[in-house]
């Protein structure tokens, strides 16, 4: 079976890690895999190097970028048609919104292949202008009509897509985003060194968010909660980088919280397990997310999680594994952090339950099994 995956860019991110693990898993099973991507521009890091070491074919389409640009998008569409006509895959599988729009149209024009798309997160949401939202909904509806199957990383993505008129129920299959679970289950040797490097006061309770420093990731609500928490032993860590870094650093300084916050900057994925094990609580305050990989990753590390109730978060976070809050609830976030900080036994109980829940649910081999089964059903 020849399979071509197409993704907009290979930055450090959940959709990108998902795609790489899928390509690597399929390649290990003797499938003929090609990965097509745009260049990993921006401050969010890159996974292109890992992709090129995977043993399968990697093609970079320079014109394919995240931002809407009519001339560049037209060039990217033409290059995708050329690549697909050359490869003639049995299955074209697209990821992320831009690649999903362009690649599904290109595959339909070239013909002779099954078209699959994964929704890692929908491009339309309540925090954009009505005109932009209507445009994205219209584009996704049209692309869905070209799709033989649509995979969602959470049931919530399917529900939201169908509510917007995107696709038909029989097209959808939920496949949770897989990860190398063993790397998070085992406590890395460098965990203690990570805490020492942050120069944390004794008995510090470290509360961490792993995400890009960008709009709608909710860092402002963590800052608001931190300003209300009087206990100096509660410190916070932002893992990641992005266009909003200077803004966030200025907000931390303005609030007089510089001694309570640690910003790691861009972190290689190999260091994430140690950072999670070095933390005591994982918070995720994004206002839109398919299903943030940081949640199951922290749970695999045995950590309790606090999340805003957006998109797929409630499919892993409940009273057994953490605390789920209404979006933008800084007061609730304050109370949740204070409660967990004051009760080590509660942290251990929630963390242990989360570990057991995610151990199989997010295993990358299980993800590849389910994706491969969809391909086989379509091709047969």
Rounded average pLDDT per 10-residue block, the chain, 380 residues: 96 92 97 96 87 96 90 95 97 95 97 97 92 95 97 97 97 96 95 94 95 94 96 95 94 96 92 96 94 96 97 95 97 97 97 96 96 96
Interatomic CA distance for residues 372 and 241, integer angstroms: 34
> How high is the pLDDT of residue 341?
97
> How high is the pLDDT of residue 62?
94
> How high is the pLDDT of residue 41?
83
Q: Which two tokens stand for residue 60?
A: 């970079």
The dihedral formed by the CA atoms of 35, 41, 45 and 48, expressed in degrees to the nearest 10: 20
Q: Which two tokens stand for residue 131?
A: 């005109």
- List, edge to edge, every strand of the sheet that includes 205-210: 261-265, 234-239, 205-210, 281-284, 305-308, 322-325
Query: Model-level pTM?
Result: 0.91
Find out whether 7 and 30 touch, Cβ atoms under 8 Å: no
DSSP assigned state of 151: E
Interatomic CA distance for residues 243 and 11, integer angstroms: 14
Candidates 355, 308, 82, 115; CA nearest to 209 is 308
Where does residue 218 fall: left (phi above 0), alpha (psi -120 to 50 degrees), or beta otherwise?
left
Taken in order of first residue, the domains within the chain and their CATH numbers are 2-178+363-379 (3.40.50.2000), 181-361 (3.40.50.2000)
Candidates 357, 189, 185, 344; CA nearest to 280 is 344
Counting every residue written for the chain, the total comes to 380
> How high is the pLDDT of residue 19?
97
Candidates 368, 324, 322; CA nearest to 347 is 322
> How high is the pLDDT of residue 43?
78
Q: Which two tokens stand for residue 273?
A: 């397990």
> How high is the pLDDT of residue 149?
98
> How high is the pLDDT of residue 274?
97
Interatomic CA distance for residues 273 and 47, integer angstroms: 17
Find out whether 65 and 41 touch, Cβ atoms under 8 Å: yes
């Amino acid at each position: 079976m020849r399979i071509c995956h197409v993704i907009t860019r290979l930055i450090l991110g959940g959709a990108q890690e998902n795609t790489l693990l899928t390509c690597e898993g399929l390649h290990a099973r003797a499938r003929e895999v090609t990965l097509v991507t745009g260049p990993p521009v921006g401050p969010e890091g890159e996974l292109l190097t890992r992709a090129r070491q995977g043993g399968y074919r990697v093609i970079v389409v320079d014109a394919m970028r995240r931002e809407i640009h009519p001339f560049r998008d037209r060039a990217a569409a033409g290059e995708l048609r050329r690549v697909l006509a050359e490869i003639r895959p049995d299955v074209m599988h697209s990821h992320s919104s831009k690649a999903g729009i362009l690649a599904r149209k290109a595959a339909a024009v070239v013909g002779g292949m099954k078209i699959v798309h994964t929704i890692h997160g929908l491009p339309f949401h309540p925090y954009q202008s009505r005109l932009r939202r209507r445009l994205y909904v219209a584009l996704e509806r049209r692309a869905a009509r070209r799709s033989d199957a649509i995979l969602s990383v959470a049931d919530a993505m399917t529900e939201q897509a169908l509510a917007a008129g995107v696709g038909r129920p029989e097209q959808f299959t939920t496949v949770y985003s897989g990860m190398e679970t063993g790397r998070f289950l085992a406590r890395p040797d460098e965990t203690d060194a990570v805490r020492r490097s942050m120069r944390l006061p004794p008995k510090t309770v470290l509360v961490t968010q792993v995400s890009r420093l960008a709009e709608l990731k909710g860092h402002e609500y963590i800052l608001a909660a931190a300003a209300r928490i009087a206990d100096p032993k509660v410190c916070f860590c932002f893992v990641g980088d992005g266009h909003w870094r200077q803004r966030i650093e200025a907000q931390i300084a303005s609030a007089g919280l510089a001694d309570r916050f640690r910003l790691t900057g861009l972190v290689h994925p190999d260091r994430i397990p140690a950072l999670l094990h070095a933390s005591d609580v994982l918070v995720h305050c994004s206002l839109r997310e398919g299903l943030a990989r940081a949640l199951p990753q922290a749970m695999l590390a045995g950590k309790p999680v606090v999340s805003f109730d957006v998109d797929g978060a409630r499919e892993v976070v409940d009273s057994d594994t953490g605390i789920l809050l209404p979006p933008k609830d800084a007061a609730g976030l304050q109370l949740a952090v204070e409660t967990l900080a004051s009760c080590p036994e509660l942290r251990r109980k929630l963390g242990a339950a989360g570990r057991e829940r995610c151990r199989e649910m997010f295993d990358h081999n299980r993800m590849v099994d389910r994706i491969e089964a969809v391909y086989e059903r379509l091709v047969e």
